[in-house]
Structure formats: structure tokens, C-alpha cells
């Protein structure tokens, strides 16, 4: 029983992390029909920027609690710089091309960004850590659930994931721009003809998606050693999540994240050898049974 509880809690924590990473990917695909491999690099950029920002903060001798603000700032700065640069500099010339060609373009971008990261931050592992060894990860203390103890930082992940999901769902369904966005998803040409600035919609969507990837990276940075290649590892996981839920669906990303999170947690607890295998097995299974993902039913899509 205790183990089952542990599986559920571990699973949900992991799901939250997955959701933060995958939601930007599904948003970009849903609106722009770009399956963005470079999403993994944006995640890595967020993590590396988080290291730089927090170490600058710690070096200035400022109170350690402010490092949380630095994590957020790092993600926003990366998102607001990388997003517009990539969208305006490269992607805006690619719209309307075949989806597979767009995947290849973002793959090329992924290769470029991977080396850009090495170029800026070097190839040694980096850590988010203050002079006394304090990290945002340890600062939030621990929380006990029955006999189990969890770092408080994990609660932050869950909170951020839920907040992100709710804000996006609200923005899509209840704001003017969200409704315009839905129109663009439904029929790009017609929306443009009716006076919606489609280019601007794409620009904003990509920037928001890039920022979400960077937030995922910045929040992960305190929990791991930040190394090159972390983007490659994460992007396939994010693919698994969005494919399981259904590409381009917000609810699908949440469902996919929960499924992958629980499956992985169960594998880790009961049969550790199957940790990676189980995730991609579920991904293949969903693609075989419901190629468009579990949440594809009421998807608005042109024929």
C-alpha cells in the first residue's frame, strides 16, 4: 500500500515536470503544425541560463531566497530572446511547407543550438548552487506524506504545472486572443481573410512555447547537473507525452504527462529494468491503437 502511494506521488511529480516541458511543444504544434525538435534545446538553454543567473545572484552576495526569482528571470529572458529570434529569423520563411520538412528544419536548429550551448557554457557539468552549497532545491525543506519524505521543491513543480495548465486553458477559452487563436488553428486562410494577424499569432505562440520550454529547463536545473545533451534526452520524452495525448491538444498533453509519469513511476518501483522501455512501449501502443492520440476525438482540424 505504501508502495502504491509512493508510485502515485512519484508519478504525479514526474508528470508535472513532463507537463511543463511538453505543453509548449503541443501548443506550437497545435497552432503552427511544427513538431519542434529544437524544443529540447530551448529547455537546455533555460537550464544553462538558470545556472548563469543564479550564480551571478549568489556571487553578488544577495539573499539566497532570491535565486527563485533568478530561475524565473532566466526562463523569461531565454524565451523572449530565443523565441522571437528563431521565429522571425528562420521559421517565418517556412510556413506552409510540408510537416516533415518543418521537422527537419527544427532538427537542424537543434544541432545548431546544441553547439551554441557548448560554445557559451563549455562542456563541463554545471550546478545551481550558492557559496554555502545552498540550492533552491534544498531551500524549500521537505514534506512528509505518511512514512514518505519528499523535497518541498517537488511541490513547487506540481504547483507550476497546474498553474501553467490552468492559465493556458483559461487564456484559450476565455480571452479574446485565445478565441482568435482558435480561429487560426481552425482555418488559417479564413482567419487571415477576416483580418486576424496570423503572423503575429504565430510569433506570440512560438515565443510562449519557447518560454515554456525554458521554464521547464530553469526549474529542472537545481535538481540535476546541467550538462550538454540534456536537451536530446528530454525532447524524446516530450514527444512521447504529446503523441500519447494527441498532438496539439492541451488536455492531451496533461493526460499524456500523467500516463507517462505513472507508468514510469510504476516501472521504477516494481521493475526498474523497464523504466525507459515502458514509456516508449506506451507511446508505440497508443500510436498503434489511436494514431492521433487519446485526446484526438473533438479536435478541430481541416480536412
Partner 1 sequence: MKFDRTCIAIVGLAVVLLIAGPLLPAWAVSLANVSLCLGTVVLGMMLLMRTGLVSFGHGLYYCLGAYAAGTLENLVKVSDIALMVLAGAAVTAVVSGLLGLLLSRYREIFFAMLSLAFSMILYGLLVKSAALGSTDGFNISAKTLAGFAVDGDSRRVVLYSIAVIVTLGSALLLHLYLSSHRGRLAGAIRDNELRVEYMGASVRATIHVNYVISAVLAGIGGALMAVNIGHIDPEMAYWPQSGEFVFVAILSGTGSVFAPLAGALVFETIRSFAYEYSPNTWQMVLGITMLLVILFLPGGLWSIFKRRKAG
99 is a site residue for partner 1 (CB under 8 A): yes
Calpha distance 256→114 (Å, rounded): 27
Which residues have C-beta within 8 Å of that of residue 223, sequence separation ≥ 6? 137, 153
Per CB under 8 A, the list member of 116, 155, 169, 172 interacting with partner 1 is: 116
118 is a site residue for partner 1 (CB under 8 A): yes
Show the site string, 189-228: x = touches partner 1 by CB under 8 A, - = not.
----------------------------------------
Per CB under 8 A, the list member of 3, 59, 92, 115 interacting with partner 1 is: 115
Minimum distance, C-beta of residue 99 to partner 1, in the bound complex (Å): 5
268 is a site residue for partner 1 (CB under 8 A): no
Under a CB-based contact definition with an 8 Å cutoff, are residues 217 and 42 in contact? Answer: yes
Per CB under 8 A, the list member of 1, 60, 63, 100 interacting with partner 1 is: 100
Helix/strand/coil for 84? helix
82 is a site residue for partner 1 (CB under 8 A): no
Stretch that binds partner 1, among 6-14, 108-116, 174-182, 199-207 (CB under 8 A): 108-116
User: Quick one: residue 293, left, alpha or beta (phi over 0 = left, psi -120 to 50 = alpha)?
Assistant: left
56 is a site residue for partner 1 (CB under 8 A): no
Task: Kindly list the distances between the CA atom of residue 283 and the CA atoms of 25, 103, 126, 186, 272, in Å, as whole numbers in the listed order.
Answer: 16, 19, 32, 26, 18
Stretch that binds partner 1, among 7-15, 99-107, 156-164, 205-213 (CB under 8 A): 99-107
Task: Kindly list the distances between the CA atom of residue 43 and the CA atoms of 101, 110, 145, 255, 269, in Å, as whole numbers in the listed order.
Answer: 22, 11, 31, 21, 27
Residue that is written with C-alpha cell 498553474 in the block: 163
Calpha distance 10→2 (Å, rounded): 12
Nearer to partner 1, 98 or 189 (CB): 98
Stretch that binds partner 1, among 124-132, 148-156, 160-168, 235-243 (CB under 8 A): 235-243
278 is a site residue for partner 1 (CB under 8 A): yes
Task: Kindly list the distances between the CA atom of residue 150 and the CA atoms of 7, 9, 17, 155, 160, in Å, as whole numbers in the listed order.
Answer: 13, 9, 15, 9, 17
List of residues contacting partner 1 (CB under 8 A): 35, 90, 93, 98-101, 103-105, 107-116, 118-119, 123, 232, 236, 239-240, 243, 247, 272-281, 283-284, 287-288, 291-292
Amino acid at each position: 500500500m505504501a508502495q502504491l502511494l509512493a508510485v502515485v506521488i512519484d508519478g504525479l511529480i514526474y508528470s508535472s515536470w513532463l507537463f511543463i516541458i511538453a505543453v509548449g511543444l503541443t501548443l506550437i504544434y497545435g497552432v503552427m503544425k511544427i513538431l519542434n525538435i529544437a524544443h529540447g534545446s530551448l529547455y537546455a538553454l533555460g537550464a544553462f541560463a538558470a545556472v548563469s543567473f543564479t550564480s551571478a545572484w549568489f556571487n553578488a552576495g544577495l539573499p539566497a531566497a532570491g535565486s527563485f526569482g533568478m530561475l524565473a528571470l532566466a526562463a523569461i529572458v531565454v524565451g523572449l530572446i530565443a523565441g522571437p529570434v528563431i521565429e522571425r529569423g528562420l521559421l517565418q520563411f517556412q510556413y506552409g511547407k510540408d510537416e516533415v520538412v518543418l521537422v527537419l528544419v527544427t532538427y537542424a536548429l537543434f544541432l545548431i543550438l546544441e553547439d551554441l550551448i557548448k560554445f557559451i557554457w563549455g562542456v563541463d557539468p554545471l550546478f545551481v548552487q550558492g557559496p554555502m552549497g545552498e540550492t533552491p532545491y534544498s531551500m524549500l525543506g521537505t514534506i512528509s506524506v505518511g512514512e514518505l519524505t519528499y523535497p518541498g521543491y517537488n511541490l513547487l513543480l506540481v504547483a507550476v504545472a497546474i498553474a501553467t495548465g490552468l492559465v493556458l486553458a483559461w487564456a484559450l477559452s476565455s480571452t479574446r486572443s485565445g478565441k482568435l487563436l482558435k480561429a487560426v488553428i481552425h482555418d488559417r486562410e479564413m482567419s487571415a481573410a477576416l483580418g486576424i494577424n496570423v503572423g503575429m499569432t504565430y510569433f506570440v505562440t512560438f515565443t510562449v512555447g519557447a518560454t515554456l520550454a525554458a521554464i521547464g529547463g530553469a526549474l529542472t536545473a537545481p535538481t540535476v547537473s546541467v550538462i550538454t545533451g540534456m536537451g536530446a534526452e528530454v525532447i524524446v520524452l516530450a514527444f512521447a507525452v504529446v503523441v500519447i495525448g494527441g498532438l496539439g491538444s492541451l488536455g492531451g498533453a496533461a493526460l499524456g504527462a500523467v500516463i507517462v509519469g505513472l507508468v514510469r513511476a510504476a516501472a521504477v518501483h516494481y521493475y526498474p529494468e523497464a523504466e525507459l522501455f515502458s514509456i516508449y512501449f506506451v507511446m508505440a501502443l497508443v500510436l498503434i491503437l489511436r494514431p492521433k492520440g487519446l485526446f484526438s476525438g473533438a479536435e478541430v482540424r481541416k480536412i
